[in-house]
Structure formats: structure tokens, C-alpha cells
Structure 1
Amino acid sequence: MYRFPILFLIISACTALLFTSCAVQTVKGYDAVPTAIQQYHATYFSDPETDYVYKAHISVYGKDFGGIFIVKKINDTTHRIAFTTEFGNKLFDFEITDDSFKVNFILEEFDRKIVVNTLKKDFMLLLKMNHEVMAQYENSKTTVYKSKDEKRYNYLFTDKATGSLKKLVNATKSKEKTVITYTPESEKLADSIIIDHKNIKLRIALEYINN
């Protein structure tokens, strides 16, 4: 007599549990608030007069590479990235805009489709200047801006006191995919940057070299 209502309750409970377990946890513990801005402007790598030079360590599918990582803003829309050994041998050289990616050179060890596509996404994300804000969250110390990024979302964690970007999380509706963590030197310069992936074996660590 009560079989179908009980079965319905079990199915409903399981469905709720499934969606709860799949929900992205990126802004858990933060309060949703009205959006204060329409667009967030990331200011790292924004000065065309500066050569951003970092000591770099890249781990990719069990192989480790160390060297010098250089970012240069060429014009209003384009950045150039080069990664070399400490002796000056080039490992890769890319030109990047918000919607284009050009390979000028890449070492054979990096020249695998999955690696190139991942580096493309990482560096386009790292150098993206403008993020259209669709939602905002906060706690006492941090403001988080949510932005649409094709089929994914970017969550930008900023320090309330300084305005500096501390973290960027690229996620689907249910899972975090890539996390970029910044240690700000100032609003316009990150002293260190770590790009970490949740689902593949690729990690990039950068430490700023003060010239």
C-alpha cells in the first residue's frame, strides 16, 4: 500500500544527494551578494613596459623542467610567453590573445596535443584581463567574482583590503578543473604563481625574479 510513496521518497533523497555531492564547492562558506561591478579587470601582466621574468618549474606527466619564464605584453591585445633553460635554450614560445594562440616554437617533449592544449588553456586563463561578472560572493576578507568562460566558469578571489587577485578557479558546474594561486607583491605584480590541475598531471610553479 505504501510501496510507491516510500519508493518515491527514496528516489528523491538519492537524487538530492547526487546533486549535492556534484555541486561545486568553490564558494562554499561565502555569502552571495549583489554584484557591485559588471567587469573585473585582472592587472597582473598588464604593463607593456615591464618584462615579467620568473624562475619556473614545470612538471608534466612525470617529467620535470626548470628554467626561466618570461611574459611580455606586446600590445593592448597580445602577450608573448617564452620558457627557456637557464642557459638560454628555448623550450617553448607562444603568442596569446583572449581568443587566439600561436605556437612560435615548442620543444619535442612538450609537443603532444594534450599538453599543448592544456598549456594553451592555462596561459590564456593566466593572461585574461577582462572578466564579465555574473555573480558575486564574499566573506569578511575576500570578494569572489564569478564569470562565464565558454562552457566553464572562473571564480576570482580578491583581497578586500588591497584589491589584489589571490586565486582563480576554473570549474565546470560541478567540478574544479584548474586552480591558479597568486602571492601578490602588489595589485599589479604577483611574487609567485602556481597553476595546478585537479585531473591531469601538470603543474607550473613560478617565482618572480626581481631585476
Structure 2
Amino acid sequence: MRYLPISLLLLVWACASYPERNDFQLVETSNATVTNPYFSNLDKDYVYKADIDLYKKTFSGILVLKKLGVRHHRVVFTTELGNTIFDFSFWDDDFIVNHILPEMNKKIVINLLKRDFRTLVTENVSILNTFTSQDEFIFETEIDERVNYYHTVAGNLEKIVQTKNRKKKVAFIFSAVHAEVAKNIQILHHNIKLSIRLKAI
């Protein structure tokens, strides 16, 4: 019987949303959208040394992200010798696989990469709710039917946390930011063996 209160607390915590688990405070805001500025310059090629750990395999090479127009990006990942690993186009709500290695050409893998890179290159997202925590403002949004929380400090985007069924699924971490370029980016999945590490060249 003495374990019942602890069990109830664990059940309540398990059912809590991401803001509730982290004790975020809901606040009023006049902002309609939150912006990810890191891939927004039409005149710039964003070039990164990339390592993608997918299940038991590691793919290393060069990742290039290019903004081609409003809500239009191209994402190309090649080996250092120039062989294409994958090549994706994002245009409004459309997604095109221009090329992908046969060993990665599985629906579940493509959908994971599609969701990750769409989140990464989406520039402006409508805000559903705004929270605060210490020196952070956290903006609740939705992309591809997944709830995302944009963590900002002093107006700078430092992290995006993607959730599903109230649970944290993916974290996008931006660091070494200079002139609206994130020099280091990590995409960490919490429920599957997929991580992406990007270092600007």
C-alpha cells in the first residue's frame, strides 16, 4: 500500500506534457511566429562536415544545404570523393528524393531524414504557445504533425525539441553561432539509433 502514492506520482509524471515535466511557465506573447535563421540566406551555401550514425552504420562526408527560394531548399550529402549519398528537395509542402543510396532507400529511413531536415530548414513557424524558464523563452509550434519547442536565449535559437505523444523524441542543438550561422549542429534521436553531427567548413 505504501508504494501506491509513488506509483501515482510516476503515472502523473509519465502523462505530463513536455512543458509540465520541465516546469515551464505559460506566458502571453505578441509574437505570431518564431524564426530559425540558420539556413535563410539565398546567397550562401551552407557546407558542413557531416557524420550520420544510422542503426549500426556511420556515413561520413560533406552536407550542403542551399536555400533556392521562399520555402525552397536543397539538401545534398556526398562522400568526400563526391559520390552522392542522398539528395533531397523541399519546396513548400512537397518533398522530392532526387537520389539516395540503395542501403538507405527504405521508407522509414527516408521519412526520418525528411522530418529532420524539414525541421532544420523551416524558417518561420506559427507559435501555438509561449513559455518561460529561467532565461529562456520556449515557443510551442507544429511541423509535420509533430509538436516542436523552440528554445531561445536572448533572441537566439539554441535548441529545438520535437515531441510525439507528449514524449521527447528528437533534439536539434545549435552552438558556436556567428552571423546567423550555426557552426555546430547536432540532431539526436531518443527512441531510435539515429544521430546527425554537422560541423561548418
The aligned residue for residue 23 of structure 1 is 16
Q: 1:63 is aligned with what amino acid?
A: K
Residue 89 of structure 2 corresponds to residue 95 of structure 1: yes
Q: Give the TM-score, by structure 1 length.
A: 0.86
Tell me which amino acid in the other structure corresponds to 1:196: L
Structure 1 residues 175 and 21: alpha-carbon distance in aligned structure 2, compared to 1, 3 A threshold: same
* CA distance, structure 2, for counterparts of residue 96 and residue 58 of structure 1: 20
User: CA shift at 1:97, angstroms?
Assistant: 2.8
Q: Kindly tell me the number of residue pairs found equivalent between the two proteins.
A: 198
Q: Distance in 2 between matches of 1:93 and 1:35?
A: 38
Q: Which whole-Å CA distance do the structure 2 matches of 1:61 and 1:80 have between them?
A: 25
Deviations 1:64-100 (A, max 9, x none): 0110000011111210010011111111111013411
Kindly report the root-mean-square deviation, in angstroms, between the aligned alpha carbons of the 2 structures. 2.1
- In the alignment, the residues of structure 2 paired with residue 150 and residue 80 of structure 1 have an alpha-carbon distance, to the nearest angstrom, of 18
Q: How far does the alpha carbon of each residue in 1:99-153 deviate from its partner, in whole angstroms, 9 at most, with x for none?
A: 1110111011211111111001111111111111111112332111111335331
> Counterpart of 2:175 in structure 1: which amino acid?
T
Aligned pairs for 1:23-172 within 5 A: 23-26=16-19, 28-160=22-154, 163-172=155-164
Q: Distance in 2 between matches of 1:117 and 1:130?
A: 21
Decide which moves more: 28-37 or 53-62. 28-37
In the alignment, is the contact (CA less than 8 A) between 2:71 and 2:122 conserved in 1?
no
1:189 aligns to 2:176 (yes or no): no
One-letter identity of the residue aligned with 1:206: L
TM-score, normalisation: structure 2:
0.90
**What one-letter code is carried by the residue in structure 1 that aligns with 2:62?**
I
Q: In structure 2, the residue corresponding to 1:118 is in which secondary structure? A: helix
Deviations 1:152-184 (A, max 9, x none): 311000112xx2210001112420111101104
Identify which range, 109-118 or 17-26, moves more after superposition.
Answer: 17-26
AA partner of residue 12 (structure 2): F
Q: Secondary structure at the match of 2:104?
A: coil
Give the Å deviation of 1:15. 6.4
Decide whether the 8 Å contact of 2:119 with 2:143 is kept in 1: no
Structure 1 stretch 20-29 or stretch 75-84: which is displaced more?
A: 20-29
Cα distance between partner residues in 2 of 1:75 and 1:164:
23
The answer to whether structure 1 residue 206 and structure 2 residue 198 are counterparts is yes
The CA deviation at 1:59 is: 0.4
Flag the structure with larger Rg.
1
Query: Where in structure 2 are there 5+ consecutive unaligned residues?
Result: none
2-side partners of 1:166 and 1:26: how far apart?
17
Partner of 1:109, secondary structure, is: helix
